[in-house]
Amino acid sequence: GQQVMQIPQYQHVQEGEDFTTYCNSSTTLSNIQWYKQRPGGHPVFLIQLVKSGEVKKQKRLTFQFGEAKKNSSLHITATQTTDVGTYFCAGPARQLTFGSGTQLTVLP
Amino acid sequence: KAGVTQTPRYLIKTRGQQVTLSCSPISGHRSVSWYQQTPGQGLQFLFEYFSETQRNKGNFPGRFSGRQFSNSRSEMNVSTLELGDSALYLCASSFQHATNEKLFFGSGTQLSVL
User: What pLDDT was estimated at residue A48?
Assistant: 94
Per-residue pLDDT tens for A24-61? 998 899 899 999 999 999 999 999 999 999 999 999 99
Q: Which residues of A touch B34 (CB under 8 A)?
A: none
Q: How many contacts does A have with B, using Cβ atoms within 8 A?
A: 52
> What is the predicted pLDDT for the residue at A1?
65
Interface contact flag, A45 B107, Cβ < 8 Å:
no
A65-79, B6-20, B91-105: least confident range = B91-105
B48 touches chain A (CB under 8 A): yes
Mean pLDDT across the stretch B59-83? 97
CB contact under 8 A, A45 and B102: yes
Q: CA A32 to CA A86: how far, in whole Å?
A: 17
Q: What is the 3-state secondary structure (H, E, C) of chain A?
A: CCCEEEECCEEEEECCCCEEEEEEECCCCCCEEEEEECCCCCEEEEEEECCCCCEEEECCEEEEECCCCCEEEEEECCCCHHHCEEEEEECCCCCCCECCCEEEEEEC
Segment (H or E) for B52? none
Contact assignment for A41 to B107 by CB distance below 8 Å: yes
Confidence category of residue B61, pLDDT binned at 50, 70, 90: very high
* Chain A nearest CA to B57, separation (Å): 8
- CB-based contact A92 B99, cutoff 8 Å: yes
Q: Find the mean pLDDT for residues B48-71.
A: 94
Strands (E), B2-108: 5-7, 10-13, 19-24, 31-38, 42-50, 53-57, 64-68, 74-78, 87-94, 104-105
* Mean pLDDT of chain B, nearest integer: 94
**Mean pLDDT score of chain A:** 93
Nearest residue, CB atoms, A42 vs list B55, B56, B106 = B106
Best residue in B88, B102, B104, B107 for a mutation probing chain A (most A CBs within 10 Å): B102
Q: What is the pLDDT of residue A80?
A: 97
> Any bridge partners for residue A81, and if so which?
none
All residues of chain B having their beta carbon less than 8 Å from the beta carbon of residue A94 are 48, 55-56, 97, 99
